[in-house]
Amino acid sequence: MADPREFWNERYAQPGYMYGTEPNDFLKSVAPRLKGPVLCIGDGEGRNGVFLAQQGLAVTSIDLSPVGLEKAQALAQQRGVSVTTQVADLETYDLGTAKWGAIVAIFCHLPPWVRTKVHANLASALLPSGHFVLEAYTPRQLAFDTGGPKNAELLYEPAALRTELTGLTVERCEELEREVLEGQWHRGRAAVVQVLATKP
């Protein structure tokens, strides 16, 4: 694969919003439970971070792509809210300690060595009673041509996620098939895992 930053910059440089401007359905369903400040990792063009800001939460959106985050700022301005954006590589990004009321990862597909590092640091980064929210494609997604990485190691197994989320109480870790209609790159029947975990 090409350099990930170049790949995403090129994708986000296209006209319009590649994954739409509306929030992810699962995030929308759990949003009433979330408290700020919120960190949205791999937030791309900002649809999820901007939605959470519209709920009155303080939001920081990070992504590898400065082009995506410019569009996130434009969307925030259009919606009349403020979002802090930061270009960051999750391989080296410091999540901080007792800093976040929620951490959100929507279709943020990381290489295994980065994913396990990020997940290992979630419990220390969250405030007490803070939440981690994730939706991602599972390896079963390879049978569908409706979005997501084509590389199986970038797809998430529910059993592995349960193991990785040490220090969190996993309230939900469910694999399901559902219609994902998010812009032009996520369209149709999909195999996903949805996670809601809480720091005690």
> What whole-number distance in Å separates Cα of residue 162 and Cα of residue 178?
21
* Residue 1 scores a pLDDT above 60: no
At 93-106, the pLDDT tens digits run 999 999 999 999 99
Read off the pTM.
0.95
Q: What is the DSSP string of 83-134?
A: -EEEE--TTT----SS-EEEEEEES----HHHHHHHHHTHHHHEEEEEEEEE
Mean pLDDT along residues 137-144 = 96
pLDDT for the residue 185: 74
16-62 confidence digits (pLDDT tens) = 998 999 999 999 999 999 999 999 999 999 999 999 999 999 999 99
The Cα-based distances of 111 to 73, 116, 129, 162, 199 in angstroms read 27, 9, 28, 17, 24
Checking if the pLDDT of 8 tops 90, the result is no
60-83 tens-digit pLDDT:
999 999 999 999 999 999 999 999
Please name the fold of domain 4-198. Rossmann fold (3.40.50)
Q: Where are the domains of the chain?
A: 4-198
Give me the chain's average pLDDT, please: 95
What is the reported pLDDT for 184?
A: 78
Q: Residue 100, by phi and psi: left (phi above 0), alpha (psi -120 to 50) or beta?
A: beta
